Amino acid sequence: MTNATVVGNAPEIDEIKRVVQLYVDGFQGSIEKLQEAFHKNAWIFALDADGALATDLISDRFERWANSQRVVKSRFIAITQAGEVASVLLGFDNSENLEDSWVDVIALLKIQGTWKITNKTAAHSSRAAWAKP
């Protein structure tokens, strides 16, 4: 994981990064990691390379994501924590084809003492050229 810009005081940065990394690692065949990372009612809003918007309940994607066996790595660009709410700007980099990478804005809440991803807003890297690796 590379260095990220931290906005303000983020005392739980390591735990926030750990939860986001569970999401990334879930693409290597682990629905369990995805389930641990995301709140059961989390949503995704994503623009693909053509600019088409997809919205879904993220849990509906778990099986497809885990079975994709996509080789991706996380690149933490910026992290903000304000009490029990946090956000992560993440480079979701496809190791096999950098042209098919994504930029994610991930929202997290600390719910009953546990950080959970509640929303993922993403754009294909071709739509966010400034954030390419």
CATH, residue 110? 3.10.450.50
The one-letter amino acid code at 110 reads K
Q: Fill in the DSSP letter of residue 132.
A: -
pLDDT for residue 27 is more than 50: yes
**The domain containing residue 34 runs over which residues?**
5-128
Rounded average pLDDT over 28-54: 95
> Which of residues 31 and 100 earns the better pLDDT score?
31
- 130: pLDDT confidence band, cut at 50, 70 and 90? low
Residue 73, in any domain of the structure: yes
Mean pLDDT across the chain, nearest whole number? 89
Write the pLDDT tens digit of every residue in 8-19. 777 899 999 999
Residue 114, in any domain of the structure: yes
Per the structure, the count of domains in the chain is 1
Residue 133, in any domain of the structure: no
Q: What is the pLDDT of residue 1?
A: 40
Contact 97, 131 (CB under 8 A): no
